[in-house]
Structure 1
Amino acid sequence: MSALSKYASRATGFYWQRNSLFFAAIVGLSQPILAFEQTDIPMTPAKWLAKGDVSFQHDQAKQPILVVNKGYAELKNTDFSNGTIEFDTKFVGERITGITFRQHDDAADALYFRPSADCAVSEECIQYMPTAHHLFEWDLYGQYQTRAPINTDGWNHIKLVLSGARMNVFVNGAHVPTLAVGTLVGGFPDGSIRLHGPASYAHLSIAPNVVDGLPAMASSDAAKDDPRYVRHWLASKPFVMPSRMDATLQENTGIDPIYSSLPKQTASWKPVALDPGGLVNLTRWYGDAQIGQAITGIWLKTTINADRDQIKHVEIGWTREVWVFVNGKLAFQSKNLYGIKGASKEPGGRLSLTNGSFDLPLQKGANQVVVAIDDNFAGGQQHWGWGVEMRLADTDGIRQSGGAVAKANAPNAF
């Protein structure tokens, strides 16, 4: 099975069957499995699989600690699902690090720390996000980041409570969750645990099924039943986006794509299931799809049927460069390049429906909406998540459906 097929199958099954998965966990139809019996986990080589620069040491009090300078340490023979994970961690300056859990191959859920002197007021101090293809999707899930009482000079106590689709995080003895995640989207109900570097770790304990009353069901997804979100997308295969150096931004940017270069063959297009929030998460489906230093692009398309000629206002969130066409004509284009002055949209270069908006001219009948998007991160890199979401101002006089997508994918659609 190809990597894309693997992620397509997993993502579709996970999101369409989320409720039944976690209901089964509640009533005991599918019990989580732990391959160890003890609660306290020794920081010794026998318990950990080290990948990278990892060592087992002792602190001044002769207590064992796990030091991850680069890479990660994975707890051996572990299939953790629900319960409480606690540990102490000491950061290395302001370098980013964290823990991944429910890990399967190269996909997981992750809690990451950005330690800094202003963590008490910085909304970027800690963040939850999924990972796919070994890539951290920071910029697709900016809603799950917040401030935290982090100590940058000493040890910090971290407590994770995991119950089905939810997680509460408590930092340094907080009585209320420092971060509450209503929908975990990593893709698996259980899996292994990894501690990432650079950081030191001590006093790891795991209490299976101790969830402090945290519900297992995902919080409601406002976009799921909101017909304003543009959905039923078909995606092309990734391609190399022609690029040039932008003299103003001093960055390599994509050259405006030519609409006529859209793939013509039906087999070139595949349906893409949405993440919660109406998000087309291209990282989940394609990774960064990087080819050397070239910028990677993808075409997306869908059909909107209108009962009359009209104009619909559209809110759009995306990373990194985007072009929107309707019936072959360019309706919108813009950039959201993280950290680049003049090309980074609020909030902070992350994906949000506040990134931009435009008017979409619709004709009576079927209208083909096409998006070209690339994964052009600042400095020529391609990572931290790429995707798009679109929401119409209203649905008066229009219709979207899976049937409309099938029509758009017909051989004569062009």
Structure 2
Amino acid sequence: MIPVILPLVLAACALTTPVLSGEVTVLDLTRLAAGQEWKIENRSVQAVVKDGKNAVQLDARPNDGLAWLPGFSFENGEIECDILGRSQPVQGSFVGVAFRVQDEKTFDAIYFRPFNFRVPERRAHSVQYVSHPDWTWNRLRAERTGQFEKAIDPAPDGDQWIHARIVVRKPKVEVYVNGAATPSLVVDELSPRTGGSVGLFVGNFSPGTFANLKVTAEK
């Protein structure tokens, strides 16, 4: 399917309108930094310019953090985002994108562990799918070992921006990193949800920096 490109900066009037098939919606992260329209759970957010990108930065706190747009509806299509984490400390960077968001406890997410990207014994844990509240990373690792987390090839630099393209065509989810032709992760969703919002995710004690969040809808 080749979508018709209809660029749209999300405004207040669009918040309760589903994304139409073929539309490209650029989610306005400046509104997130200004505390407008977005809902933020367990983080503070500030606008930053990082490596020439206009971005937002979520701070580090205990437990997961989430920022999403209430009323925004996404079913199938593509989500793209530039994401910056950090390679140190170990267990100090969990950064990604949430979808199927119902509230701060109920969502699916694809997230990255930059501290694992180039460490041979940990590379297999570089990119992760989760479906909260039921399927957390630790439950998946214990019960579905190796199925919902993979390495990224070629391995990115954990201290540099990555570009993530997440293709959602229920039940399939594919994750492409830095323009790669082959997905780093392919999974079937574990959630029965078919809609929900889109947002930014950071994990326990993790900050995260994000830019250029874009959604392309499909039927």
TM-score normalized with structure 1 length: 0.39
Out of 192-201 and 88-97, give the one that drifted further.
88-97
Distance 1:174 1:56, change over 3 A: same
How far apart in 2 are the matches of 1:174 and 1:101? 22
2:111 partner amino acid: Y
After superposition, give the CA deviation of every residue in 1:71-112 in whole Å (9 maximum; x if it has no partner): 221124211110000000000334223322112232222212
Residues 1:114 and 2:104 are matched in the alignment:
no
Q: How much has 1:177 moved relative to structure 2?
A: 0.9
Match of 2:25 in 1: 39
How far apart in 2 are the matches of 1:97 and 1:62? 20
Q: How much has 1:117 moved relative to structure 2?
A: 5.3
Please show how residues 387-402 of structure 1 align to structure 2 within 5 Å: none
Residues 1:126 and 2:137 are matched in the alignment:
no
Match of 1:191 in 2: 196
Residues 1:151 and 2:157 are matched in the alignment:
yes
Distance 1:78 1:124, change over 3 A: same
Highest RCO, 1 vs 2 (Cα 8 Å, sep ≥ 6): 2
Match of 1:78 in 2: 72
2:30 partner amino acid: T
2:149 partner amino acid: Q
CA contact (8 A) 1:86 1:160 kept: yes
CA contact (8 A) 2:83 2:163 kept: yes
Q: Find the residue that maps to 2:71 and give its secondary structure.
A: coil
Q: Any stretches of 5+ residues in structure 1 without a counterpart? A: 1-31, 211-414
**Aligned CA-pair RMSD:** 2.6
Distance 1:81 1:62, change over 3 A: same
How far apart in 1 are the matches of 2:213 and 2:83? 9
After superposition, give the CA deviation of every residue in 1:172-191 in whole Å (9 maximum; x if it has no partner): 1111111111x211220111
CA contact (8 A) 1:170 1:178 kept: yes
How far apart in 1 are the matches of 2:167 and 2:48? 28
How far apart in 1 are the matches of 2:106 and 2:133? 4
Distance 1:125 1:134, change over 3 A: closer
After superposition, give the CA deviation of every residue in 1:346-400 in whole Å (9 maximum; x if it has no partner): xxxxxxxxxxxxxxxxxxxxxxxxxxxxxxxxxxxxxxxxxxxxxxxxxxxxxxx
After superposition, give the CA deviation of every residue in 1:299-335 in whole Å (9 maximum; x if it has no partner): xxxxxxxxxxxxxxxxxxxxxxxxxxxxxxxxxxxxx
Q: How much has 1:60 moved relative to structure 2?
A: 4.8
CA contact (8 A) 1:107 1:187 kept: no
1:162 partner amino acid: V
CA contact (8 A) 1:43 1:56 kept: no
Q: Residue 172 of structure 2: which of 154, 166, 177 is its match? A: 166
When the two structures are aligned, how many residues end up with a matched partner?
177
Q: Any stretches of 5+ residues in structure 2 without a counterpart? A: 1-16
1:82 partner amino acid: N
Q: Find the residue that maps to 2:125 and give its secondary structure.
A: coil
